[in-house]
Amino acid sequence: MNQTRTVVILAAGEGKRMRSALPKVLHPMLGRPMLGHVLTAAGPLGAAATLVVVGHGADQVAGYVTAAVPDARTVLQPDPNGTGQAVRLALEAVPDVTGTVVVVNGDAPLLRPATLRALVEAHEAAGVAATTMSANAADPYGLGRIVRDQAGDLSRVVEERDATPREAAIREINAGVYAFDAATLRDALGKLSTDNAQGEEYLTEVFALLVGAGRRVAVHLVDDAEEALGCNDRAQLADLCARLRDRVNGELMRSGVTMVDPATTWVDVTVTVEPDATVEPNTQLRGSTTVGSGALVGPDTTLTDVVVGEGAQVVRTHGSESWIGPGASVGPYAFLRPGTVLAEEGKIGTFVETKNARIGRATKVPHLSYVGDATIGEYANIGAGTIFANYDGLRKNHSTVGDAAFVGSDSVLIAPVRIGDGAYVAAGSAISKDVEPGVLAVTRVPQRGVAGWVARKRPGTRSAEAAARATEGDAAADGQ
């Protein structure tokens, strides 16, 4: 059945128990704020209008909505006085709306798109005045209860604070997700009162009004009570994050990803991991990160907005806004800062930091180096302890190292400087001038020795004693 649909998301609550300057619905959960997960669940409904009711932190919430879903509109509830008032204000913003109105709480991040779509389709197929989603909860404390009539339809929804002991014993809970006939809903909202424990306009009172008028209200029971869970404090937030982590990890493993310890692996919902990739324990994959088939990531690795190519290995590494080519190797204990591009079969090794660096195919930066604002060609080797000195106190300067060049250990390349193809830099050199292709550049001071210095300047020390023994031994050997 084709009907016009309007989505209303309730996101005006202050969330006092979160004890946070950040509005509750903007607290992050695996790559999206809570509200973002709800917007994603509602997206496939194809609504003609999506309205987000904002109140506490209205500017912050509205800013997120505009950036995330530009077609959505925000409606201000300046003095929140219940969910009924919030929906009434939303419908006043679209006075000509018809068809189905879907109402969802903004703090229900575990709601699946398929579940929401099934609710709406069942409502429209049944042709009822309203449909509410329900679930059977092991512990229904603090949640509204579903009271059914003899036919199995809804009789009323009772908030726990208003429930009798018998009603409080009911385990079927109100999931806070509803579908209404628009005209029927608009009429009922105009009849709400504040005669309840909170002195607010409860949206759930609409059901009692509809039933009292002889209209049918259906109940759509979902199998997974987890989808009905909301969030009121940081402990619940952590619980929801863990549940979402398990859901994401389960889907990835069923798709062919090896996950050694799912309990310590956190993957944002915005991340892509291809089949036959392996994710080791204590790994976090965030943002727009993608991991190619056959790649190994972890253990103890955090990647944000990083592309990991097929067959690459990234071990004990922290990286962001970087690209790691197929068959490349990174870590352990590497730090990839934004702008790092490591071509196929390249290596960034132990205790190496890179930033705004393009490192060519099969080039190796094995250990203890800093590569910043640099371009390195193919098949080059950067020795241990090499520093690309890119900052002169005023600006960042760029260095270039050519194909198959060799930079010896403990060298400093003082930018801007160019090392030509096939050139060598001798270990311990400080290079401030361009090196032509095939040239060996050496800037070391010639080594000299001061004979007898230890005996004169450090008499009586272990060093002096050891030197004396060695000298006597050498003299004895020469006398033979």
Helix (H, G, I), strand (E, B) or coil at 48: coil
Distance in angstroms (rounded) separating the CA atoms of residues 352 and 190: 66
Distance in angstroms (rounded) separating the CA atoms of residues 470 and 280: 52
Residue 155 lies in a domain: yes
Same domain, yes or no: 220 and 266: no
Same domain, yes or no: 206 and 281: no
| Number of domains making up the chain | 2
Residue 395 lies in a domain: yes
Q: Summarize pLDDT for 342-385 with one digit per residue, the tens.
A: 999 999 999 999 999 999 999 999 999 999 999 999 999 999 99
Same domain, yes or no: 275 and 336: yes
Q: Does the structure show a pLDDT above 80 at 335?
A: yes
Q: Does the structure show a pLDDT above 60 at 473?
A: yes
Q: What amino acid positions are annotated as catalytic residues?
A: 367
CATH code at 190? 3.90.550.10
Q: Which amino acid is at 449?
A: G
Residue 47 C-alpha from the chain's centroid: 27
**Which are the contacts of 356, defined by CB distance < 8 A and separation ≥ 6?**
337, 338, 339, 340, 372, 373, 374, 396
Please give the average per-residue pLDDT across 202-229, as a whole number. Answer: 92
Percent of the chain with pLDDT over 90: 86
Q: Summarize pLDDT for 416-432 with one digit per residue, the tens.
A: 999 999 999 999 999 99
The dihedral built from the CA positions of residue 56, 60, 63 and 68, taken in this order, carries a sign that is: negative
**Which are the contacts of 193, defined by CB distance < 8 A and separation ≥ 6?**
201, 205
Residue 349 lies in a domain: yes
Q: Rounded to two decimals, what is the model's pTM?
A: 0.91
Distance in angstroms (rounded) separating the CA atoms of residues 248 and 266: 9
Structural domain for 78, as ranges: 5-228
Same domain, yes or no: 181 and 279: no
Q: Summarize pLDDT for 268-285 with one digit per residue, the tens.
A: 999 999 999 999 999 999
Please give the average per-residue pLDDT across 388-398, as a whole number. Answer: 95
Q: What is the pLDDT of residue 244?
A: 98
Same domain, yes or no: 128 and 13: yes
Helix axes 58-68, 34-42, angle to 10 degrees: 40
Q: For tokens 């915005």, what's the residue?
A: 270
Q: Summarize pLDDT for 305-323 with one digit per residue, the tens.
A: 999 999 999 999 999 999 9
Distance in angstroms (rounded) separating the CA atoms of residues 95 and 75: 13
Terminal C-alpha separation, the chain: 109
Residue 187 lies in a domain: yes
